[in-house]
Structure 1
Amino acid sequence: MVVIVLSLIKVKHDSLGVNCGTSFVFFALMKWITLVALLGAYFSQSQNTPSQLTTVDFKQADVSINLDANSNEITGTIDYNLEILNDALSIFLDAKNLVSYSALLDNKEVKMIYDGKKLVVQAPFKAGEEHDLKISFTSYPSKAMYHIDIDDDRLWDQVWTQGQGKYTSNWLPSIDDMNDKIIWNTSITAPSSKLAVANGVLKNVTNGADVKTWKYTMQKPMSSYLLAVVVGDYEVKKENSSSGAALEYYYYKNQGDKVATTYQHSKEIFDFLEGEIGVAFPWQDYKQIPVKDFLYSGMENTGLTVFSDVFFTDALGANDRSYVNVNAHELAHQWFGDLVTETDAKHHWLHEGFASYYALLAEKDLYGNSYFQHQLYEYAEALNEQTARGKSTALLDPKANSLTFYQHGAWALHALKDKVGEFSFRESVTQYLIKNKYSNVTTNDFLDIVEEVSNQNLDEFKAIWLTSTTFPTADALQILRKEPIMEDFLQLAARRISSFDESYYSYKETLEKPVELELVKEMVAQLSIHNTNKKYELLRAAATLDNVEVNQLIVLSTPSINVENRELIKSMLNDNSYVTRESALFLLWNDVSDKRTFLEETKQQWNDMNSSLDMAWIVLALNSSGYSNEELLPLLTRLQSYTGPVYGTETRTAAFDYLINLDAMSQQNYIDLMQASLHHVWRFYENARDILKAQYKRENGKFLIDQSFDHFNTENQKRLKKIIDIK
């Protein structure tokens, strides 16, 4: 450290051209050493201390933030009420991306040190004291709060936060330690044309000049990673659960027709989970809100689930990608993760395993036991494959992957229920939540209660399901085989290695009433590997069930059209699924000679088209004879528009792929591609960067990319040149 100080002094004095005397150098050196030692002491204390829980208890936080309409700047204050538990010379807050800050301790100025990660508050804190600490700040968050520009006018249209994994401290001075639970009250000032949502109950809305302020209050404490803010063009539909809990379903303006299909079964799921868990919903109200370009499927912020708007869709889209499982999963987290929270990552399955399992139980209530058992079987297959590849870890490994935490965790709970019995399992879960509400837990906190309720020793269970580095496939299959429907399914699954003739009568039995859809789906999947005309009678019979998933499997497993399947695939053009329609469209287009007539007649049959189906239709039209250039140009223009930020990342990715294959990228498409390379969703930007680098190697691509740099500011130009590897 002293070497660094000496170097700094030398550089400083040399740059000034001053011949300093020995006393001046010594004085400067001592000053630097003192400052560095002071900084080092405070930062060492703050960074090397994993928790302040024994020093200070942050009890309540009153947040007021102002979202600037013309930039990504966040200004605001946060007022903490805290209690000192042990004498200390400083306390700290986690804080990143701050450009200005100040603090008042009990309304008096207080010294602070900021290292870019933590705000250290210096004062002689004494045990038993209570203080008010008010932080005023300005930040430009690079993570955890995202400003979404939908129409590329360089002004944000939507703002949302994601605290888990990235931490709320990226935009708000807060506490990253999930063991410190705080009562949060949040006020948001934003443009008056928007609607702002946060955790808790909306107490009031006040009007200002071109802005409004929404104030939300909470009654119970939560970890700071669960704090959430969403601002955008929304409206809301409200209803109450059977127990009287307030349920709010947010939707984009002028898209109220998608509410019923997106939020289907929401009240049923809520009522089921509240009854199944045996503990009343622990928060004041429950809100759900879709956002654009979300990082994940959904996030269980306390009382406020934020989810990807790819699930916000019409009836056909909901058949292709249902929100039901995500809905149930995030709601279950309100108990498992929000009410009781892990102490650290080693116990992460207490969040994700529970949420995954209770989501399956909710789906069982909706769709039946056969569906439930088959989902468990698919989980077991995936986990068994992971073990076979040598990628499996123990469930209590803090570095385990999502498959382990979610699916293995769900299986561990199912196995535990099988071992101790349903009554003991449900009673244990209820007691576990009541005993540990609004606090943090370990796996043993849960298992101790199960052992007490069931009067069973769980050492063997823990060794098999929690600490073993392999998934216990044999144990899982043994549990599955206790269900008659799974015995039937496993016998049919064994036919995967049999010939068609050997399997034929098993397939016929599968279609006899009462039909089990999971068996039919397995049969359809197996038929795809058999090359015989006799299979088509079975497929036609399966199609008469008019089940979306069965029909999707039929079309997706069809390699080409022939005389046996032509009429069957034609009937799929009007199926209640965009996926099925799109697949049938490609198959039949390849089969017909008059492609234009086929495309036009098919399009006239459809009242609705999503972006994927529309792009597919356009691409086929661009590759069909019979269209004039005057007709093709607007189609190409429409396809090119799908790379813009108004669309979701999946749509944009598909549009880039189509246009590159057609060699039809415009300069605006290259600008969109460069923007995509700077996007916050990593799967999207990684793919975009690969495309960008490949296109820059092409003469035309290089020319248009070079012409597009002026669209970006200096910082982003540097980032893009680094991505492309331009020296």
Structure 2
Amino acid sequence: MTVPRRRAVCALLTGLLCLPLAACTESSGLTGGDGPEPAPAASPTQSDELQAPESLDAARSQPVADPVYPGRGEPYLDTLHYHLDLDWDVTTTTLNGTATITFGVTETRERITFDLDESLEVTIAVLDGTEVETRRAGDTLTVTTGQELSPLAEHSLAVSYEGVPEPTDFPGSRTDIPGLGWTTMADGSVWTMQEPFGAFTWYPVNDQPGDKAYYDATITSNGGFTNVFNGAVVETETDGDTTTTSWHLEEPAASYLVTIAIGDYEAVADEGPDGLSMTYWLEPESAAPLKYLEEAPDMLVYLEDLLGPYPFQTAGLVVVPAASAMETQETTTIGDSLFLADDVRVRGVLLHEYAHQWLGNTVTPDNWHDLWLNEGLTMYVQLMWEDSVGLSDFDVTIGEWSARDQADRVAYGPPGGFRPDEFASINVYHSGAVMLHHIREVVGDDAFFETLRAWPQQNVNASVDRDDFVEFWSEGTGTELGPFVDAWLTSRMTPTSGP
């Protein structure tokens, strides 16, 4: 998620930082069109039919009860693959969906629970080929299995549902995020951002960060709209003003990293490092983003040099009518109003969201107290890049963040123990980055950058927590970091001693 503006000192900042500008790099040769050539299905048969990968091992998780938002997600439930079949009527703003979920359990169960917004009515649920009973209580869906589910088995649950989706409240004070999940505009177009939760507003899901799953989606809409999802297009069919698009996401993702956008879009194709396919989904004749998107391939080159090879099969973004940005996997979601900001903020946001593909998406926190694992590391990378292209002075900026650290802890809580009503406030961004800088000063550049690069490369598709970070970084740098990291992340006062 993009860094919030600091409300208390907004007069001192222009965009993200009050810093000099620098020109964009050379054009990357963007090409427009009605859409990209469909990518082949990633199944072993290369068929046009969507199906789960032969092996779901990369999606196997050990979810935990989230300490910040315990009402979301179930720690015994390990979802492995979602096949979403969604039919959106732009006139009635009604969603008809069927979610086919491959899952396992970590303990013997006779009932299982998913998150699903109460505005969506379940019409039928079928478990392993047999219709089963369901019960609703608020935003939860409980399935009576009719059998004893064993931790050793995989199961398939198909849930059909319909209704008029509504966004849910954001648990924070940021003004750039009015709501989470499925958001419908006046013309029937749709967009989503859903961190820390909100996927439950449009499909049944284990809506917590520690449960990654593969995704395939078939999206149908009328009104001449285009359907956008994560990953690669498999197939598109159009009949009059109705379009059906099939999408495939090659690697597992946490639910908060899933996106959908339905609207008047055109695809602009680009190419990243080593021939990486990049697609930007923009409104027709949308000129504002294009001058910034020319720099995107160069951003990925910088990030690969720092963090290792890009971890996924495609890259790009979709521009939506919003004020924030979200690192949704492979297809980043960017609010259109951000492109009206100054160059420093726009370029910083783009780099930030692309960096999350390594730091947050391939390696993901398994609970929300460890949001700093996403935002602190990414903020530090963003600041190094801004310094490298002349947008900011690294030493001056890290000094400013350090000076404000105590005030941020008072306002929002410690970076590893923020208040539940202050999700994604400035403390997890800046304080997390300052902690990394203290580690770098002690261990030296060689050990620091070797460990930073190894972190996403050796934790592909992993869900991790603070203990994992401490163990990995202590071993990588040859320095015991546990006491310092624990104190920095949990203290209400800025620690005065380093590692």
User: What is the match of residue 389 of structure 2?
Assistant: 366
Q: Say if 2:316 is the partner of 1:287.
A: yes
Q: CA 1:162/1:260 → structure 2, altered by over 3 Å: closer, same or farther?
A: closer
Matches within 5 A, 1:245-260: 245-255=276-286, 257-260=287-290
Q: In 2, distance between residues paired with 1:307 and 1:375?
A: 25
Higher helix proportion (structure 1 or 2): 1
Instruction: Return the letter of the residue paired with 1:163.
Output: Q
Match of 1:462 among 471, 479, 485: 485
Deviation string for 1:90-123 (max 9, x for gaps)? Answer: 1121111213431112232111111132211112
Alignment TM-score, normalising by the size of structure 2: 0.77
Q: CA 1:441/1:398 → structure 2, altered by over 3 Å: closer, same or farther?
A: farther
Is the CA contact (8 Å cut-off) linking 2:82 and 2:215 kept in structure 1? yes
Instruction: Return the letter of the residue paired with 1:267.
Output: P
Q: CA 1:109/1:326 → structure 2, altered by over 3 Å: closer, same or farther?
A: same
Matches within 5 A, 1:115-130: 115-123=137-145, 124-127=147-150, 128-130=152-154
Matches within 5 A, 1:685-704: none
User: Post-superposition shift, 1:170?
Assistant: 1.4
User: What is the match of residue 302 of structure 1?
Assistant: 329
Alpha carbon RMSD of aligned pairs, Å? 2.5
Q: Say if 2:291 is the partner of 1:261.
A: yes
User: What is the match of residue 323 of structure 1?
Assistant: 346
Q: CA 1:460/1:173 → structure 2, altered by over 3 Å: closer, same or farther?
A: closer
Is the CA contact (8 Å cut-off) linking 1:243 and 1:271 kept in structure 2? no
Greater relative CO (CA pairs within 8 A, separation 6+): 2
Match of 2:411 among 368, 391, 395: 391
Q: CA 1:289/1:392 → structure 2, altered by over 3 Å: closer, same or farther?
A: closer
Q: In 2, distance between residues paired with 1:118 and 1:330?
A: 31
Q: In 1, distance between residues paired with 2:239 and 2:216?
A: 20
User: Post-superposition shift, 1:236?
Assistant: 2.3
Alignment TM-score, normalising by the size of structure 1: 0.53
Q: CA 1:48/1:340 → structure 2, altered by over 3 Å: closer, same or farther?
A: closer
Is the CA contact (8 Å cut-off) linking 2:134 and 2:143 kept in structure 1? yes
Q: Say if 2:368 is the partner of 1:338.
A: no
SS in 2 for 1:288: strand
Q: In 2, distance between residues paired with 1:48 and 1:349?
A: 18
**Deviating more after overlay: 129-138 vs 460-469:** 460-469
User: What is the match of residue 147 of structure 1?
Assistant: 184
User: Post-superposition shift, 1:445?
Assistant: 0.8
Q: Say if 2:235 is the partner of 1:235.
A: no
Higher strand proportion (structure 1 or 2): 2
Q: In 1, distance between residues paired with 2:342 and 2:280?
A: 16
User: Post-superposition shift, 1:75?
Assistant: 0.8
User: What is the match of residue 65 of structure 1?
Assistant: 86
Match of 2:190 among 122, 134, 159: 159
Q: CA 1:177/1:92 → structure 2, altered by over 3 Å: closer, same or farther?
A: same
User: Post-superposition shift, 1:243?
Assistant: 2.7
Segments of structure 2 that go 5 or more residues without pairing to the other structure are 1-68, 168-180
User: What is the match of residue 275 of structure 1?
Assistant: 305
Is the CA contact (8 Å cut-off) linking 1:345 and 1:398 kept in structure 2? no
Deviation string for 1:357-381 (max 9, x for gaps)? Answer: 111122122117x622222233234
User: Post-superposition shift, 1:406?
Assistant: 0.5
Is the CA contact (8 Å cut-off) linking 1:393 and 1:470 kept in structure 2? no
SS in 2 for 1:367: coil
Q: Say if 2:129 is the partner of 1:107.
A: yes
User: Post-superposition shift, 1:385?
Assistant: 4.3
Q: CA 1:192/1:207 → structure 2, altered by over 3 Å: closer, same or farther?
A: farther
User: Post-superposition shift, 1:276?
Assistant: 0.3
Instruction: Return the letter of the residue paired with 2:182.
Output: M
Q: In 1, distance between residues paired with 2:325 and 2:72?
A: 28
User: What is the match of residue 561 of structure 1?
Assistant: none
Q: CA 1:392/1:121 → structure 2, altered by over 3 Å: closer, same or farther?
A: closer
Deviation string for 1:64-87 (max 9, x for gaps)? Answer: 111112022111111112234432
User: Post-superposition shift, 1:48?
Assistant: 8.4
Q: CA 1:430/1:114 → structure 2, altered by over 3 Å: closer, same or farther?
A: same
Segments of structure 1 that go 5 or more residues without pairing to the other structure are 1-46, 150-154, 477-727
SS in 1 for 2:92: coil
Is the CA contact (8 Å cut-off) linking 1:167 and 1:176 kept in structure 2? yes
Is the CA contact (8 Å cut-off) linking 2:221 and 2:227 kept in structure 1? yes
SS in 1 for 2:273: coil
Matches within 5 A, 1:589-628: none
Q: CA 1:384/1:469 → structure 2, altered by over 3 Å: closer, same or farther?
A: closer
Q: In 2, distance between residues paired with 1:113 and 1:289?
A: 36
Is the CA contact (8 Å cut-off) linking 2:73 and 2:206 kept in structure 1? no
Q: Say if 2:344 is the partner of 1:312.
A: no
Query: How many residues are treated as equivalent by the alignment?
Result: 412
Identity of counterpart residues, as a percentage? 24
User: What is the match of residue 702 of structure 1?
Assistant: none
